[in-house]
Amino acid sequence: MEKVWLGLGSNKGDSSSILDSAIQELGGFLYELRRSGLWRSRARYYNDQQDFLNLAVSGFTNLTPRELLIQIHRIEANHGRDRSKEIKKGPRTLDIDILIYDQKIFAEPDLIIPHPGLAERKFALLPLLELDYELIHPGLGISLRELAACLPPQGIYPVNNNRYDWPYSE
């Protein structure tokens, strides 16, 4: 079994319910599933859209990275995501990314692990740190804690909490 960390996000529809439902489905093939708290984040890259709700999950799986990606795409489609009709980096009902796959590195045309944007995205790093404060980025050999500390504030807020870009705000 391999330990994996996934990032989930939604900003279209009832995002909180969509994320809860997606986690239920992930439980079908992720064992010892754990989830972070919920985070609100400003949209990046394509700004003309609503804020996202983000969280991270971790668990163990027997699936290969390719099989995991297929299952993730199935869950996204179950929640209304149609990649052929969406704006790149635009609004979406559900986005699930494989962030880390058991400290291994994979590079294929449509599957890169660790996720290539992980080191620059607090909306992915901060939820991951809730799950594993000592986690190391497999490609960089640097702790996620150090990576997050080097980034400027990006408008990431824990939901139902008054902290901002925790635990790295001034």
Q: Which residues are annotated as catalytic?
A: 81, 92, 95, 97
> Is there a contact between 68 and 96 (Cβ–Cβ < 8 Å)?
no
Other Cβ atoms closer than 10 A to 37 = 16
Q: How many residues does the structure list for the chain?
A: 170
Concatenate the DSSP letters of all residues of 132-151 into one string.
-TT-B-TTT--BHHHHHHHS
Distance CA 112, CA 140 (A): 14
Q: What sign has the CA pseudo-torsion 26, 28, 34, 38?
A: positive
